Structure 1
C-alpha cells in the first residue's frame, strides 16, 4: 500500500553558495496555498550547496507545490525574492522511491527515502531545490529570483541605526569572506553564470588504471551542481549522462582503500566545454585515472590533461559518511 501524501515527513533548510553568504528574510513551503513549513531563519549561511544545511531546521508533512523565499545576498548587497510553483508530481514520486546505500565495506544498508528539502541560493538570484537522503541528493527545480527591496529596519532591529547603504556596507565588511572580496577587486562582476553552467550534463565514464589497485567496488560522487549519489559496482563501468564531478570517492574494498579525487571546477568547465563545442551533445567522454593517479579527459583520440586534481588515499576504516 502506497503512503498518502500526508505520510511524507521531511525537514527543510536553506544553503548558500560557498563564499557568497546569504540570510533568509522570510519564506515557506506550501501545498495548494496551505502552509506546510516555514523556511528556518538561522542567521548568516555560507556552508555551500553540498551541505544538508544547519541543524536548526523546520519540518513538514506532505508534498509541497509552492515555494516562497526572500533573502539577502551579502556579497551583492541585494535582496532577492522568489515565488514559484514546484513539481509536486516529481517530488512525490521521489518520496515514494526507496533506495539502499552500501556501507564503506560494501555491505548493504537498510533501504530509506528522501527526507530533507534543501533550498540553495547563489548570486544573481539563482535558486535550486534539492531532495536529500543519506549519500543522495537530487535537484527537483531550478529558478530565477527577482531583485526586491527590504528595508534594513524590517530585516532586523538595526541597532546601529544604519541607513540602507550603511547597512549593506557594514555587513559586507563583516561577513563576506576575504577570498570573495579579493576576487571582486579584480573581477567587477560576480560569477553569476557558474551555478547554471554547473548544471550542464555530459555523457562520460571513469576508467581507472591505478597502480596495484583491484577492481573498484563502489563510488561516492559529489557533483558540481550540488547533486550527490552512491554508485554500486554494477553501475561503475558504463557511460552515463551526469553533471560534472567535483569530489569523487573511489572504493577498492579488497584493498581496503578509498581514493579521494577533488576536481577543479574551472578546469573541468574549460575542458568539457572545449570537447563539447565541436560536436554539441552527449558525446562519450572517458575520464582516465592512470597508474600514477593523474587524470585526463579523452575524446576521439584527443587528450585533455586535468592538472589540478587533488588526490587523497584513505583506509576504509577511516572513511566518514558525507
Structure 2
C-alpha cells in the first residue's frame, strides 16, 4: 500500500511538472504571438487645417508600461491642411502608443494648448491589423497586382478650439482613430521661442499672427472670427456612394480615390468591389479621383454645399442612403454632379473639376 501511495505521489508530481512546463511554453508562445502582432512601424506627424497653423512646443508618446516611445516632431509651423499629414521629422516607433502628451501654439487663436490623454489602444491595434489593399510595386506579368498593406504614419491633427483628432495613414488610405480635447495653457514665449525680441506675451502672439497667417486669412478672422465647431461638423457621417451615369453604358468606375473633410481617405482599388454598389458611412467628400475605362478626373467638393445638401436630404428622408451621381458630358470634357435620395435629386453647383485625363 505504501509503495502504491508513493508511486501515486510521484505520478502526481511528474504530471504537475509536465503541466507547468506546458503552460509556460504556451504562455511563451502566446506572448511571442502577441508581440509579433502588436509591433507596427510608424512615423509621427502633427497637422493643422489650412490658414490655422500650429507649432509643437513639446510632447511625447508612451506605451502601456509608461515607457517613452518618441517625442512629438518639432518640424516648424504646420498648416498644410486637415486632409494631409504634417512634416516628418524623424520621430516614430513600433510599439502601440497608449498615451499622448502634446503642448502646441495655435497662431490664429494666439493661444497655447495642451492635451494629456490616454489613447484607444484597441482601436489603434485593430486598424493596424486590418490594414488595406494597395497596388504593389513589383510587377507580375506586366501588371502591378493588388497586395495587402497597413498604415505607416500616426498623425495628430490640431484644429481651432483645442480640437484634436488622431489618424493612421499610409498610401492613399487614412482612418480616424479618435477625437480628443486640448485645453488652453500658459507657456512663456521665452520658453518657446529663442528670439522673442523682448516682446511681451501679447506682442509675441500679435507678431506671429502676422507672420504665420496669410493676409487673406488674417482679414477673414478679423471680420468673421474663427469658425469654431466646423471641424466637429466635418466628422458627421452619412451613408452614401458614388454612382456613374455615362452616356456609354459600358463605362464603369474602375478605381476611386476619395478624400473626406474629416481627414480620412479611402482608395477603392477593385472594379468588382465598386460594382457591388454598396453604401458606406463616411464624412462629406473633400475630393474624388475616379478612374473610368478610358478617362480619369479629379473633382473637389465645397464643404458648405455638401453639408447643406446632405443634411437637407436626410431631414426629408431620415436614414435613407444617398447617391452622388456623376454624369460625364460627351467625350468626358466636363462632369455634372448631383445628390439623389429616394426620388429627390439636388444638383451640385460649387464643385470644381480640376482636369480630365486619358482618352
Pairwise same-fold verdict (TM > 0.5): yes
Deviation at 1:185, TM superposition (A): 3.1
Q: Secondary structure at the match of 1:294?
A: strand
2:58 matched residue in structure 1: 26
Structure-1 residue corresponding to 2:281: 241
Q: Is the 8 A contact 2:287 2:301 kept in 1?
A: yes
Matched residue, 2:171: 134
Cross-structure match for 2:323 = 286
> Is the contact between residue 320 and residue 342 of structure 2 (CA under 8 Å) also seen in structure 1?
no
CA separation in 1, counterparts of 2:316 and 2:131? 40
* Residue deviations 1:172-196 (CA, integer Å, cap 9, x gap): 0111122211212321x31111110
Aligned twin of 1:275: 313
Question: Which of the pair is proportionally richer in helix?
Answer: 2
Aligned counterpart in structure 1 of residue 181 of structure 2, from 116, 135, 144: 144
Alignment partner of 1:118 out of 152, 155, 162: 155
Instruction: Verify the 8 A CA contact 1:15 1:118 in the aligned structure 2.
Output: yes
Distance in structure 1 (CA, Å) of the matches to 2:229 and 2:317? 22
Deviations 1:224-282 (A, max 9, x none): 10001111323322222111111101111x31x212111111111111122223455x3
Could you tell me whether the CA contact under 8 Å between 2:105 and 2:112 is conserved in 1? yes
Q: Which moved more, 1:172-181 or 1:74-83?
A: 172-181
Choose which of 300, 303, 307 in structure 1 pairs with 2:345.
303
Cα distance in 2 between the residues matched to 1:131 and 1:295: 30
Structure 1 130/173 Cα, relative in aligned 2: closer, same or farther at 3 Å?
Answer: same
For residues 49-100 of structure 1, give each alpha carbon's deviation from its aligned partner in whole angstroms, at most 9, with x where no partner exists.
2222213230212000111111111011011111111111111122223432
Whether the 8 Å contact between 2:297 and 2:357 is mirrored in structure 1 is no
Contact 1:100-1:108 within 8 A present in 2 as well: no
Aligned length: 313
Question: Structure 1 residues 313, 107: CA separation in 2 closer, same or farther (over 3 Å shift)?
Answer: farther
Q: Report the Cα distance in structure 2 between the residues aligned to 1:151 and 1:40, rounded to whole angstroms.
A: 20
TM-score, normalised relative to structure 1? 0.91
Cα shift at 1:10: 1.1
Q: Which moved more, 1:58-67 or 1:89-98?
A: 89-98
Partner residue, 1:169: 206
Deviates more, 1:288-297 or 1:165-174: 288-297
What is the alpha-carbon distance in structure 1 between the residues aligned to residue 158 and residue 212 of structure 2?
A: 16
Structure 2: 5+ residue stretches without partners = 1-32, 330-334
The separation in 2 between residues aligned to 1:306 and 1:258, in whole angstroms, is 20
In 1, Cα distance between equivalents of 2:111 and 2:130? 39
Change beyond 3 A, Cα 1:6–1:49: same
What secondary structure does 1:100 align onto? strand
| Distance verdict in 2 for CA 1:98–1:266, change over 3 Å | closer
Q: Which residue of 1 aligns with 2:22?
A: none
Confirm or deny: 8 A CA contact 2:189 2:196 kept in the other structure: no
Measured at CA, do residues 278 and 64 of structure 1 come closer, stay the same or move farther in structure 2, by a change above 3 Å? Answer: same
SS at 2:148's partner residue? coil
Give the secondary structure class of the aligned counterpart of 1:42. Answer: coil
Unaligned runs of 5+ in 1: 318-322
